[in-house]
């Protein structure tokens, strides 16, 4: 198991990087298929509006 960093969401050892926000996330907090983290998958991207 290669540890690349610390999960930005829970602090556990991260195993992947979110393709959207680029933050390190563990397998528990990221989608196993898309690799998108919970923070990004949770909010539905209606439009690319950054506030």
Binding site for Zn ion (CB under 5 A): 7, 9-10, 12, 18, 20-21, 26, 29, 37, 40
Min CB(24)–Zn ion separation in Å: 9
- CA–CA distances in Å: residue 35 to residues 5, 10, 44: 15, 16, 15
Nearer to Zn ion, 3 or 21 (CB): 21
Residues, the chain, total? 51
6, containing H or E segment: strand 5-6
Min CB(49)–Zn ion separation in Å: 16
Min CB(48)–Zn ion separation in Å: 14
């Amino acid at each position: 198991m290669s540890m690349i960093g610390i999960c930005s969401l829970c602090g556990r050892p991260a195993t992947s990087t979110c393709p959207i926000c680029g933050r390190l996330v563990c397998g528990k907090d990221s989608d196993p298929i898309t690799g998108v983290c919970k923070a990004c998958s949770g909010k539905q991207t209606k439009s690319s509006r950054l506030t």
